[in-house]
Each structure stands twice: as structure tokens, then as C-alpha cells.
Homo-oligomer: A and B are copies of this chain.
Amino acid sequence: MNCSVRGFPPYGYIVREGQRPNFCGFLVAGFALRSKLNTEGGRQVVGIQLPGEALDFQHLYLKLADHSVQASSAASVAEISRHELQGLIEKRPNILKAVVTALLIDASIAREWLLNNGRRGARQRIAHLICEIGYRLQHHQPAGDVSKQVLPITQQQLGDATGLTSVHVNRMLKELEEGGLIGRKSGRVIMTDMARLQRVADFDPAYLHLCSSQ
């Protein structure tokens, strides 16, 4: 199998909207954001990818990328040609199942984001997203202690993901901190009290399907 690893700087584009990607990438290290723009320049983050996750199944059988994928920190990406991956899927039921399951989970997360951004107020909305990132981080590194890590997302990015302005995100983070629900470190978030935050956020991890693939 032909597979190489490429490095990306922070803000480097891994896939650009409108482009035709010819390989499928897996995030080996670092973090990435999926995003779209409207014509007025508004940016919406439509997904967050953590180390170990796939980046480009989205375009496996489609001609053009409908959104961009961008490194949000220094990142390295393992690449396999799209054609080769298609071959693997058709021959190996295990791989087919893994790929489709990953796609289904991504879609489930997008739907939960729709609910979150559409039907929760700013405080809950931000708290919910923080919970999601915490859960997913923990799942990827069961040994690590999320309550001591600085989350890999800026206030600007939190705003772009929740449909809020960074100014308002800042106000809400201040409140959450004052309530003892989160910690801060030079402007970034630390999940010091997952249990309480989860209650405030109306967060139920079922949609992440962490241990429920069939």
C-alpha cells in the first residue's frame, strides 16, 4: 500500500472547498477544522478533527469538496490515494464497515451541532461544544487526564463553530469560569468540572456513538 505522511503548518489547508481531492488523509498528529464560507465572508466551522481521525472520507465518491479542511495547529497527515482506498473498501468488509461507520458518526455529530446551534442559548451552546471536545479527546487518549489539558481551540474558533461572535464567546467563558464550570489558561479553556458542565450543557454523549457501532 502506497502511503506517505505530510506535515502542515497552523492554518495550512489540507483540502480546499471546490477542489477535487485525490487522496484520503488521516490526522496522525495535531488538530484540524472543517469550515465553509458565505459570500459575505462569514465563516462557519462545521467539524473538528482530532488525532487519529479520518479527514477525507467526505469526498470518497464526490467530485468536488464542499468544504475546506484546515490544520488548526501544526499537524501531520497520512495520505492514501482515493482510488486505492476505494479498492480496499470493495475488497475488505472490515474496512468498508470502519469507513462507513466513521462517516455515520461524522454525520451524527453534524446533526447534533444543528440542534446545538439552533435550539440552545449561547452559554449552553458553548458548554456543549466544550463537552464534546473533552469527550472525544478522552476517548482518543484514555490514559490522559482531560481535566488538566488546555483545549485545542481558540475563542474565535469556538465562535465560528457555534454561530456566535468571539466577543460573545468571551463573555460566556467568563461567566462559565466565574461559576466554576471551566478553568482558563491564557484565554484558552480547561475542562475542570466535566460532570457539572455536562449538566449545564444538556450534553448526552450518545450521538458520538463512542461504543455503539453495531
Residues of A that sit less than 8 Å from B by CB: 18, 34, 36-40, 42-44, 46-47, 58-64, 66-67, 89-90, 93, 96-97, 100-101, 103-108, 110-115, 117-120, 162-163, 202, 206-207, 209, 212-214
Q: Give the CA-CA distance A163 to B119 in the complex, in Å.
A: 6
Contact partner, A101, options B61, B163, B207, Cβ 8 Å: B61
Return 7 A-B CB contacts under 8 Å, by A number.
A38-B115, A38-B202, A44-B118, A63-B212, A64-B206, A100-B100, A103-B104
Knowing A112-B36, A119-B38 are in contact, say whether A62-B101 is a contact too (CB < 8 A).
Answer: yes
What residues on B are CB-neighbors of A58 within 8 Å?
A: 104, 107-108
Contact present for A212 and B62 (CB under 8 Å): yes
What residues on B are CB-neighbors of A34 within 8 Å?
A: 111
Contact partner, A46, options B100, B114, B209, Cβ 8 Å: B114
Q: Give the CA-CA distance A163 to B162 in the complex, in Å.
A: 13
What residues on B are CB-neighbors of A206 within 8 Å?
A: 18, 64, 66
Contact present for B103 and A114 (CB under 8 Å): no
Knowing A38-B202, A66-B108, A90-B96 are in contact, say whether A117-B114 is a contact too (CB < 8 A).
Answer: yes
Knowing A104-B103, A117-B163 are in contact, say whether A97-B61 is a contact too (CB < 8 A).
Answer: yes
Q: Give the CA-CA distance A106 to B108 in the complex, in Å.
A: 11
Knowing A104-B61, A112-B66 are in contact, say whether A119-B209 is a contact too (CB < 8 A).
Answer: no
Q: Give the CA-CA distance A158 to B117 in the complex, in Å.
A: 16
Could you tell me the distance in whole angstroms from the C-beta of A213 to the nearest C-beta in chain B? 6
Contact partner, A106, options B107, B114, B115, B202, Cβ 8 Å: B107
Which of A90, A101, A108 has the most chain B CB within a 10 Å cutoff?
Answer: A108
Q: Give the CA-CA distance A106 to B44 in the complex, in Å.
A: 18
What residues on B are CB-neighbors of A43 within 8 Å?
A: 119
What residues on B are CB-neighbors of A120 within 8 Å?
A: 38, 42
